[in-house]
Chains A and B, each alone.
Chain A
Amino acid sequence: MRIAIDHKLSVSVPQGTAQAVFHLLLTPPSGPTQTVESWSVEGPGIGNAGRFTDGFGNAAHLVNQMRPEGEITIHVRGEVTTRDSHGVLGRPAGEPVPALYRRRTELTKVPAEFYAPFRDSKESRLSICHALMERVGETLGMPPEEPEAQQMQADGGQEQAQDVTEEPRPAAADYAHLFIGAARALDIPARYVVGYRLVDGEDGLHAWAEAFDEGLGWIGFDPFMQICPTDRYVRLAIALDAETAPTLRTVPIAEVVQVVKASAASTN
């Protein structure tokens, strides 16, 4: 399907900043599950940006602005055609060796009792990952059980989704980190994906995980939604964890507010 993305980032740079320097991971790759049809990143200094590929294979921008005043807005827009592959991404070219994603990081530390049940599992890696995804959901909270059809409805569905008075669930990033940490502890390369999800009435910025299988290559797992990514997902960037895959990193450190509107584009 074709998905239109409208992603606004507002950065409040402290007053008196001599120079603001931004590191942007805001350019999605074309690959087996998606083709970027059009894409633009607009903001002060973009025309003059340094462009490069980072250590994880992401397309990155280095943007600087002298004496910035007030709020800086970066506006990202584009359309991406997606394909449902049951989460299978395979082995895209230009990526570092999968083993890199066995590295443990602060954010992906997981208590041993969490993954212990899988340690001696004779199941296939794929089955283990599915079971892990479920266990993450059981631990952090399952998504509200609503008929998928209702969510698919146009804007009307959202009030209904809100009336369950529960503790808010942890962020999607926490689900991803728990999954990734457990997979790595089981010697399965796993990485963090930041991207967009087409979902009516909710912000479209999302995070999930990918695990590596020798046979199939990289496979997406979204423990927050308890599914493998579908054609409603757009991959934006990958890295070890949320810390290494921010859509925007700034010096000086500044507050960044992001609003993403993902919508189904009219296919022509």
Chain B
Amino acid sequence: MGENTPFDEMYNADGSVREPYRALSEWLAEQPEKGLALMQADAEAIFRKLGITFAVYGSEEGTEKVIPFDVIPRIIAANEWRKLSRGIEQRVKALNAFLYDVYHRQEILKAGRIPEKLILNNAAFCPQMMGLEPARGVYAHIIGVDIVRVGPDEFYVLEDNLRTPSGVSYMLEDREAMMMLAPDLFQRSKVAPVETYPENLRRTLESVAPAGAGRNPVIAVLTPGIYNSAYFEHSFLADQMGAQLCEGQDLFVDGGKVYMRTTTGPERVDVIYRRIDDDYLDPLTFKPDSMLGVPGIFDAYRAGNVTLVNAPGTGIADDKAVYTYVPEIIEFYLGEKALLNNVPTYNCTDVEQRAWVLENIAELVVKEVHGSGGYGMMVGPTSTKAQHEEFKKKIIARPDNYIVQPTLALSTCPTHINNDVAPRHVDLRPYVLVGDEVRITPGGLTRVALEKGSLVVNSSQGGGTKDTWVLED
């Protein structure tokens, strides 16, 4: 699985340029000396002006940072995208069917295709969701699938992210910045638009409004507040789709319905795009000490008076331990073979597998089952011996808390580094909307590990982003 040289998305092994990158390659050759550096400086000014920042937890210097943006776009050919998006659509359909099943008759558990205990005793399984009929049967409406490429035709899904995936604002702003920085480059290629995302988001949310909502359902974006690392994105999305940005205290229940306080009095809310985690969403049903949520909002949801997007309890379908069963899930509900690969995952609670993992830890990636954002993970090949030993101890102490995967040779893209162009590892997070139909924005967010050889692309760990182009035929 790509243990050798990583796949270079721009160059073939013989040094010739791959077809999708031809226009970019010519354009790069035409750039004057220091051209890219100037462009990089402009980009930074644009992002500072747009105010796109993110918070790094645990960082000493100021909490807000501008996420590094690389001025060289990442390019995906039309036929590559078709294949990818078919695989993504298959996955999100199957995962929504799985969610419906585990919160209803649990046929997949009865059939023994997934161990019952793995679901029922999972912290991410939400018993309060049992028997609820979500609008259009959809639980996960907004999804960001993490994909890596290891070969011309080989894509792997790392995580499905069915809770509250973030980063879509970077996809949109990266495109906007790129169009300002290199308008000429856009003239040479036919690039599929991403600007339709906010409108599609709105359509998706409207399509899952409760039956009692009018023709123009009222949509609110519920944010934990300004101290959340993705607050910028929450306000950006609300603004882009013409919805109200609310904090918990701006919403209240009355008579089993949800209202927002406005200057002209209470206004009924039909659909809530909530960016607050399940646990904090409603102190009446979940964590009783949560100050972020809205008391009674879950009961109003159960009463069919409001739609929560995504539904609580979707985490059971993107749990790292459930992840290994996704190919099984696709077969069970759709009767199809999975189009996208799953990364082989070792189960440390199995004695034999654990022994093998401990012996080969230097070659493997270790992730916490409930971790995210690149926190609490270790990439064997780029870690020290001391770190290997530390993670061995952790695995032995709590084998069920970790999953282990082979280190994938993530593909590389040309990246601007110190006024030069060098290959750096990238991943891809396409954004998917599921409502009356499945809408996948062509492209997504490309994250790039700016350090040479690094495979960790998370922005919290020093990764940057790139504009992602899907070429049209």
Complex contacts, A64 vs chain B, CB 8 Å: 252-255, 296
- Stretch of A50-58, A126-134, A145-153 at the chain-chain interface: A50-58
A91 to chain B, nearest CB (A): 14
Contact of A103 among B127, B254, B295 (CB under 8 A): B127
Complex contacts, A76 vs chain B, CB 8 Å: none
Is A50 in contact with B130, judged by CB distance below 8 angstroms? no
Cβ contacts B144-176/A at 8 Å (1 or 0 each): 000000000000000000000000000000000
A23-B128 contact in complex given A62-B253, A97-B105, C-beta closer than 8 Å: no
Is A251 in contact with B127, judged by CB distance below 8 angstroms? no
Complex contacts, A94 vs chain B, CB 8 Å: 131
A99-B303 contact in complex given A48-B254, A251-B296, A253-B288, C-beta closer than 8 Å: no
Complex contacts, A62 vs chain B, CB 8 Å: 253, 256, 296, 299-300, 303
Chain A interfacial residues counted at CB < 8 A: 30
Which residue of B has the minimal Cβ distance to A24? Answer: B299
Is B284 in contact with A54, judged by CB distance below 8 angstroms? no
Is A103 in contact with B305, judged by CB distance below 8 angstroms? no
Which residue of B has the minimal Cβ distance to A49? Answer: B256
Is B296 in contact with A53, judged by CB distance below 8 angstroms? no
B242-263: which residues lie under 8 A (CB-CB) from chain A? 252-257
Interface status of A60 (Cβ within 8 A of chain B): yes
How far does the alpha carbon of A52 sit from the alpha carbon of B255 in the complex, in Å?
Answer: 12
A114 to chain B, nearest CB (A): 19
Interface status of A158 (Cβ within 8 A of chain B): no
Complex contacts, A55 vs chain B, CB 8 Å: 127-132, 302
A102-B130 contact in complex given A60-B299, A97-B105, C-beta closer than 8 Å: no
How far does the alpha carbon of A64 sit from the alpha carbon of B110 in the complex, in Å?
Answer: 40
Complex contacts, B254 vs chain A, CB 8 Å: 48, 64
Is A50 in contact with B255, judged by CB distance below 8 angstroms? yes
Is A102 in contact with B253, judged by CB distance below 8 angstroms? no
Is A57 in contact with B256, judged by CB distance below 8 angstroms? no
How far does the alpha carbon of A37 sit from the alpha carbon of B132 in the complex, in Å?
Answer: 28
Contact of B257 among A50, A54, A253 (CB under 8 A): A50
Complex contacts, B132 vs chain A, CB 8 Å: 55
B153 to chain A, nearest CB (A): 41
Chain B interfacial residues counted at CB < 8 A: 34
Is B304 in contact with A99, judged by CB distance below 8 angstroms? no
Is A52 in contact with B253, judged by CB distance below 8 angstroms? no
How far does the alpha carbon of A64 sit from the alpha carbon of B131 in the complex, in Å?
Answer: 24
Contact of A23 among B127, B255, B296, B305 (CB under 8 A): B296
Interface centre among A60, A96, A240 (most CB of B within 10 A): A96
Cβ contacts A193-218/B at 8 Å (1 or 0 each): 00000000000000000000000000
How far does the alpha carbon of A50 sit from the alpha carbon of B128 in the complex, in Å?
Answer: 17
B212 to chain A, nearest CB (A): 12
B426 to chain A, nearest CB (A): 40
How far does the alpha carbon of A62 sit from the alpha carbon of B285 in the complex, in Å?
Answer: 11
Interface centre among B120, B125, B132 (most CB of A within 10 A): B120
Interface status of A135 (Cβ within 8 A of chain B): no
A184 to chain B, nearest CB (A): 9
Is B299 in contact with A251, judged by CB distance below 8 angstroms? no
Interface status of B116 (Cβ within 8 A of chain A): yes
A49-B255 contact in complex given A62-B303, A100-B120, A251-B283, C-beta closer than 8 Å: yes
Contact of B116 among A96, A99, A250, A253 (CB under 8 A): A99
Interface status of B78 (Cβ within 8 A of chain A): no
Complex contacts, A139 vs chain B, CB 8 Å: none
Interface status of B56 (Cβ within 8 A of chain A): no
Interface status of A121 (Cβ within 8 A of chain B): no
Q: Give the dominant DSSP class at A's interface.
A: mixed
Is B121 in contact with A96, judged by CB distance below 8 angstroms? no
Complex contacts, A48 vs chain B, CB 8 Å: 254-256
Cβ contacts B111-127/A at 8 Å (1 or 0 each): 00000110011000101
B250 to chain A, nearest CB (A): 13
Contact of A50 among B110, B283, B305 (CB under 8 A): B305
B65-119: which residues lie under 8 A (CB-CB) from chain A? 104-106, 109-110, 116-117
Cβ contacts A224-238/B at 8 Å (1 or 0 each): 000000000000000
How far does the alpha carbon of A173 sit from the alpha carbon of B408 in the complex, in Å?
Answer: 51
Is A50 in contact with B300, judged by CB distance below 8 angstroms? yes
Complex contacts, B252 vs chain A, CB 8 Å: 19, 64
Interface status of A8 (Cβ within 8 A of chain B): no
Interface centre among A23, A48, A64 (most CB of B within 10 A): A64
Complex contacts, A96 vs chain B, CB 8 Å: 127, 130-131
Which residue of B has the minimal Cβ distance to A249? Answer: B284
Interface status of A186 (Cβ within 8 A of chain B): no
Interface status of A21 (Cβ within 8 A of chain B): yes
Is B121 in contact with A53, judged by CB distance below 8 angstroms? no
A52-B304 contact in complex given A62-B253, A102-B116, A251-B284, C-beta closer than 8 Å: yes
Cβ contacts A242-263/B at 8 Å (1 or 0 each): 0010000111010000000000
Is B121 in contact with A103, judged by CB distance below 8 angstroms? yes
Complex contacts, A251 vs chain B, CB 8 Å: 283-284, 288, 295-296
Which residue of B has the minimal Cβ distance to A23? Answer: B284
Complex contacts, B256 vs chain A, CB 8 Å: 48-52, 62
15 contacts between A and B (CB under 8 A): A19-B295, A48-B256, A50-B253, A51-B303, A55-B128, A55-B130, A57-B131, A64-B296, A99-B106, A100-B120, A102-B116, A103-B125, A244-B127, A244-B128, A253-B288
If A51-B256, A55-B130, A251-B296 are given as contacts, then 4 extra A-B residue pairs at C-beta distance below 8 Å, sorted by A number, are A50-B300, A50-B305, A103-B125, A253-B288
A-B pairs, top 9 by smallest CB distance, nearest first, are A50-B256, A52-B303, A251-B295, A55-B130, A62-B299, A21-B295, A96-B130, A48-B255, A55-B128
Chain A positions near chain B (C-beta within 8 angstroms): 19, 21, 23, 48-57, 60, 62, 64, 94, 96-97, 99-100, 102-104, 240, 244, 249-251, 253
